[in-house]
Amino acid sequence: MAKIDNIRCQKILDSRGNWTIETKVILDDGSVGVQPVPSGASVGENEAVYVDVDKASDFVSTTINDVLVGKNPADQKLIDETLIKIDGTSNKGRIGANSIVSVSLACARAAAQSSGVELYQYLSFIFSGKQKLSGELKFPTPIFNIINGGEHAKNRLSFQEFMVIPALNIPYNKALQMGSVIYKDLKNLLLDEDFETGVGDEGGFEPRELSARTALDFLEKAASVQYDPGNDVFFGLDIAAGSFYRNGKYLISEENLSLSSDEVIDYYEKLFSDYKIIYLEDPMFERDEFGWTKFFKRNSKKYMIVADDLVVTNPKILERISKEKMVSAVIVKPNQIGTLTETFEFIKIARKAKMDVVISHRSGDNPDSFISDLAVAVDAEFIKSGAPARGERVAKYNRLLEIFYGF
């Protein structure tokens, strides 16, 4: 196998116009792996820590380069263990999770190119020891965030994402078409009622003066123009409750509500019962584990209850949470933990606990499609990449189309 010849890093802009880094791993056979780094606006308390982009770029080009040159990029576990050792902290706060994840994923890309296989095939071999063939592929159901709120928009909505989800039996290409059609129908409905159709960080519309109920009404109307909600399309929300939790209360500002843990659960149950909702992400603040447990006990048969901030792609946290009855699915974001090896470990723990896997982008992203190959490699049930609009969102969906058609 080829060896690492050089590792370079540069600053680039992400989809929000903020600086991030992009790493290039060059092998001695000429193979190259390039990996930009995304970032989130809504960040869990226990996510691995980013460092300043100038420092991150310098760490990659000097410290990390000096240690990894000459090593085998296909030995992913060794690469990642070395990166963790270089950092030497529990939260990757010295050289930064942004430095580490860019190198970890770029090494995988370079090794895949050197091996002459598609990235999803290479990743599946690392994950399961078996390289997927075209006839063995399972495609994730796309979850489209088409109304933005919370930290992703400049409106009053407390909840962060209002999403449409095609039925699980619909082929990926048809599911993508459904998302595009509903997105356009929603835009027309908003215009008909004189709402703005500017978009938020993830490409969803961010109309002002909506409540959660009126946003859900718009979703239902848009989905009903050409489809049948509850049959071939369903709804989901990323509530991102941590973003409106203050001093023991859940503050739903657009309705002037200040609710306890018990009260917000009652509020959710009353509101969501009127819609064809199957997916609820981060309904409780990450440290409100009493609330998580109670919500799961009362609602796990109605909804897929999904954890993001609660688990932050951290295997140690998920190992503990998986022993409790709190969640039925988990979000996977490699940049939350920093290395591909730890990401795979997290997914394996989720599988052992019979949890669904949702591979996800970040709100500050790039026209990069690593997560699309990752979703196929690990047989993820779902993928989140925002609205079917904006280049950095569509890149993920289009990469899945390439794999789907064998293009």
Enumerate the active-site residues. Answer: 202, 333
Q: Tell me the backbone φ, ψ of residue 192, rounded to 5 degrees.
A: -60, -30
Burial (CB < 10 A; 0-12, 13-18, 19+), residue 248, is exposed
Angle at 37 between CA 137 and CA 17, to 5 degrees: 120
Distance CA 398, CA 204 (A): 18
d(CA 163, CA 179): 10
* d(C-alpha 350, C-alpha 267), whole Å: 29
- Taken as a whole, the chain contains a residue count of 407
Q: How many Å apart are CA 65 and CA 68, to the nearest integer?
A: 5
Q: Give the Cα separation of 121 and 118 in Å (integer).
A: 5
Structure tokens given for 328: 């039925």
DSSP-derived secondary structure letter, 304? E
Nearest in space to 385 (alpha carbons), one of 404, 402, 403, 366:
366
Contact present, 135 and 87 (Cβ < 8 Å) = no
- For 256, left (φ over 0), alpha (ψ -120 to 50), or beta? left
CB contact set of 137 (below 8 Å; sequence gap of 6+): 120, 376, 403, 404
Residue of 201, 233, 234 whose CA lies nearest to 361: 201
Angle between helices 212-224 and 261-272 (to 10 degrees): 30
Q: What angle do CA 42, 43, 49 make, to 5 degrees?
A: 150
- Of 170, 168, 235, nearest in space to 381 by CA: 168
